């Protein structure tokens, strides 16, 4: 028997269908899950820890993914506008605001912005404008075609220290 958390299922969904919003047929992909009870060396020569691993059933030659549950699903990015102004700090999905806040402040620690506060963190929606080659992440309304949930801080809320 294999027990997976919701986070693990989302991780596997991202593995088999990373572009499912643009290409829903990816959701037809199948994944095979295997248990590796001991640490091992992969076919690529990498040391891998014991755990649950997955591979695309149709393409086992592409290698193992895992261990499942070891990936951090909360990835915060700082996007800018074409003019170089901040568009926002964001992560795909609705995450607990406190968790997002920690990651967001890690991202901007190396940039000249003041730390953000939990009051600035919002849950919203966005979509990629396929008609634009760059700077194509746009704010959206829930239910809008191709919209996906995001957790974010709007660019106009980012300030410089002392402001």
Give 37: exposed, middle or buried? Use CB within 10 Å, 0-12, 13-18, 19+: exposed
11-27: average pLDDT: 83
Does this model's pTM top 0.75? My answer is no
Asked if the peptide bond before residue 67 counts as cis, ω within 30 degrees of 0, the response is: yes
The string of pLDDT tens digits covering residues 25-72 is: 888 999 999 999 998 888 777 888 888 999 999 988 888 888 888 776
Whether the CB-CB separation of 148 and 125 falls below 8 Å is answered with yes
- Quickly tell me which residue has 């964001």 as its tokens: 90
Q: Which residues contact 126 (CB under 8 A, 6 or more apart)?
A: 90, 137, 138, 139, 140, 147, 148, 150, 152
- Quickly tell me which residue has 């990498």 as its tokens: 46
Q: Which two tokens stand for residue 4?
A: 């997976």
User: Residue 73: which of 87, 56, 91, 58 has the closest Cα?
Assistant: 91
Q: Above 70 in pLDDT, residue 12?
A: yes
The string of pLDDT tens digits covering residues 132-145 is: 877 788 899 988 88
Q: What is the mean pLDDT of the chain?
A: 86
Q: How far is CA 44 from CA 40, 61, 76, in A?
A: 11, 11, 30
């Amino acid at each position: 028997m294999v027990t997976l958390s919701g986070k693990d299922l989302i991780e596997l969904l991202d593995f088999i269908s990373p572009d499912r919003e643009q290409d829903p047929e990816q959701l037809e992909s199948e994944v095979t899950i295997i248990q590796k009870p001991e640490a091992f060396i992969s076919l690529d020569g990498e040391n891998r820890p014991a755990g649950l691993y997955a591979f695309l059933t149709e393409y086992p030659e592409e290698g193992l993914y895992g261990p499942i549950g070891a990936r951090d699903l909360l990835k915060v990015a700082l996007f800018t506008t074409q003019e170089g102004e901040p568009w926002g700090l964001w992560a795909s999905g609705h995450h607990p605001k406190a968790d997002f806040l920690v990651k967001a402040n890690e991202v901007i620690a190396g940039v000249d912005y003041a730390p953000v506060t939990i009051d600035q963190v919002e849950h919203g929606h966005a979509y990629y404008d396929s008609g634009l080659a760059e700077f194509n992440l746009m704010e959206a309304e829930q239910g809008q075609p191709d919209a996906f949930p995001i957790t974010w801080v709007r660019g106009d809320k980012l300030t410089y220290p002392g402001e």
